[in-house]
Amino acid sequence: MGAGDEHDSQEAKACPTTSSPKIPAPPEPENDKGIFPDIKSPSLEGLEGVTSENVDIFKLEAVAALRLLCRSIDNLVQITGDIPPTPPARSRGSSPAKGLSKLRELTPGDVTTPKKENMSLRPPGSHVQEIDGVIFAKTPIGSPEAHASEPISVSQIVGANAQPTYIQHGALARKFYSKRPPPISTEDYLMRMHKYCPMSTAVYLASSLYITRLAIVERVLPVTPRNVHRLLLACLRVAMKALEDLSWPHGRFSKVGGVTEGELGRLEITFCYLMDFSLKVDAAMLQREAESLCRHDRYDDVSQDIAISPMELRHPSETERKARPGAEKRKASNTLPSRPLVQVG
């Protein structure tokens, strides 16, 4: 037998005869796991082992951080109660006609502000950009260099006619209020957000830090059942954009949150202005916030500060009465005879 015959026999042993392909098992729909895993709702149970002494933000799971945030927000809402916006949204304040007329006199006539309804009727050449549901129109500006002979009016000075900061914050805070509390609890709302748009531990801790700063430290707005959902939605969105490299699409986040894309964009901008665009956090700040969230007596001092002292009523003194304008007029009217009593029937 030659070398070629031996080689052919070895190949025949190494490569056995091909058999028929194996038939796959019949399908079992009840046991089919599917292509994508099931989306399960997280549970708010299991915070017994997390304490302020052993909590570590680098080992804390996102669901546990969400549980701490939910418990903290619920306690804050219960302490605050249902406080209406200040001033009420339906009440009409003093007429701004006097201030507006003075502003029109100081404003040049050729400077006009485009109306919102005319934004869609702009010619194709105008520069209009839409970012996250908010329309931005690029206004052409001149040279930034100022000349010595250039007149300066009060209307051209930035912030010359601005209202006080607390009035501006009050107007911004009213954007988070609903006419009535939404028919979903804070727990279910946060669980829905985490179910369809899960976020990281840092986002939930930063959101708690932001709300603590607005509601407790600076007292810009109270957290009530009528504004907590919109506030959480904007807070989570801003914290995710500030801390994460990737964020959920604007349309998906707005649908899960239950608002339109334009409304979500306005809530984001409003929240950034309330925070004065100070959104930077570090590991030490998040660690302190996590330790504070683990304490059950976190809002004890806050509840004592929120308690309203009883109102003290007193009669005005004689000096105060004389100092009031129109006191003599009222005094003279008291000397007039009283009206006769009219009996009916």
pTM: 0.59
Surface-to-core class of residue 73, CB atoms within 10 Å of its CB (0-12 exposed, 13-18 middle, 19+ buried): buried
- pLDDT of the residue at 232: 93
The domain spans of the chain are 62-83+173-294
The residues facing 131 across adjacent strands are: 134
Helix, strand, coil tally for the chain in percent (to 5)? 50, 0, 50
Distances (CA, A) of 147 to 129, 139, 159, 294: 32, 21, 21, 59
* Cα distance between residue 212 and residue 187, in whole Å: 18
Task: Read off φ and ψ for residue 129, nearest 5 degrees.
Answer: -125, 140
Query: CA gyration radius for the chain?
Result: 33
Q: What is the pLDDT of residues 312-323, one digit of tens each?
A: 445 556 665 565
Under a CB-based contact definition with an 8 Å cutoff, are residues 244 and 199 in contact? yes
- pLDDT of the residue at 208: 92
CATH architecture for the domain at 62-83+173-294: Orthogonal Bundle (1.10)
* Average pLDDT value for the chain: 71
Q: What is the pLDDT of residues 283-314, one digit of tens each?
A: 999 999 988 888 876 666 554 444 433 444 45
Q: What is the pLDDT of residues 180-230, one digit of tens each?
A: 888 899 889 999 999 999 999 999 999 999 999 888 888 888 888 888 899
- Would you tell me how many other CB atoms lie within 10 Å of the CB of residue 47? 13
Under a CB-based contact definition with an 8 Å cutoff, are residues 194 and 42 in contact? yes
Dihedral sign computed on CA atoms, order 145, 149, 155, 158: positive
